[in-house]
Chains A and B, each alone.
Chain A
Amino acid sequence: DAGVIQSPRHEVTEMGQEVTLRCKPISGHDYLFWYRQTMMRGLELLIYFNNNVPIDDSGMPEDRFSAKMPNASFSTLKIQPSEPRDSAVYFCASSRRGVFTGELFFGEGSRLTVL
C-alpha cells in the first residue's frame, strides 16, 4: 500500500487566497484525521471522520476552515480566506477500526506558507 498520500507537499500563497489541501487515506481505513503542527502549539487535532462522516470538528480554529470527505478514499481541508497565522504543516492520518484500537498512519504533510 502506498500509505497516506497528501498534496500539495508545499504551498505558498498570499493572504486572502483560498487554500485546498488533499488527502487519500490508506485503503480500508475507516478513520481519517486532519492535524496542524506549528512550533508554538505543536500538533493539534483539527477534525476527524469515521466512515466519511465528520465526528469531531471542535479543533477547527474558525469558520474559515472547512473539511469534507465525499468518499472513503478522499478528503479535503479548505481555508478561505487564508491568513499568515494559518502557516503550518498540515498532516492527514488514517486508522483502521478506530481510535481505541487502531494505529495511526500519517501522510508526509502539507507545508503551508501564507504571506
Chain B
Amino acid sequence: KNEVEQSPQNLTAQEGEFITINCSYSVGISALHWLQQHPGGGIVSLFMLSSGKKKHGRLIATINIQEKHSSLHITASHPRDSAVYICAVRSNTGNQFYFGTGTSLTVIP
C-alpha cells in the first residue's frame, strides 16, 4: 500500500496547455512537498505546503487537508517544464517521509 498516490503517472501536453497533477495521501501530515526532477537527475523543491495555496510564477500548488489531497497546476506550459514531478509528505505521527512515484510530464512545442 502506498501512502502517497499521484496521478497521472505520465502526461503529455501541448505547449501552452494548463496542466494539473494530483496527489492523494493516506496519513496525517505536517507538510506536503512538491519536487521537480529534470532528466539528468537533479531534484528541486518547488513548494512546501501545510494549508491553502502557494504560487511561484506559472506554478500553483493547493492542498486540502480535510480531503488529504493536493494539486500542482502549471499554467501556459512550456517544453522546459518537462520533468518528473514528485509529491512527498511528512507524517505528523512519526519521523517518516513518504514519496509518490512521480508524474512524468512532457510538453511538446
Query: Could you list which residues of chain A lie within 8 angstroms of chain B, going by C-beta atoms?
Result: 33, 42-45, 48, 55-56, 58-59, 89, 91, 93, 99-106, 108-109, 111
B102 touches A42 (CB 8 A): yes
Closest CB-CB distance, B59 to chain A, in whole Å?
14
| Chain B count of residues within 8 A CB distance of the other chain | 22
Query: Could you list which residues of chain B lie within 8 angstroms of chain A, going by C-beta atoms?
Result: 30-31, 33, 35, 41-45, 48, 50, 86, 88, 90, 94-97, 99-102
Closest CB-CB distance, B87 to chain A, in whole Å?
11
Closest CB-CB distance, B47 to chain A, in whole Å?
8
B95 touches A56 (CB 8 A): yes
B45 touches A106 (CB 8 A): yes
A43 touches B99 (CB 8 A): yes
Return 27 A-B CB contacts under 8 Å, by A number.
Answer: A33-B97, A42-B100, A42-B102, A43-B99, A45-B97, A45-B99, A55-B95, A56-B95, A56-B96, A93-B43, A99-B90, A100-B30, A100-B31, A100-B90, A101-B48, A102-B48, A103-B33, A103-B48, A104-B33, A105-B45, A106-B42, A106-B43, A106-B44, A108-B42, A109-B41, A109-B43, A111-B41
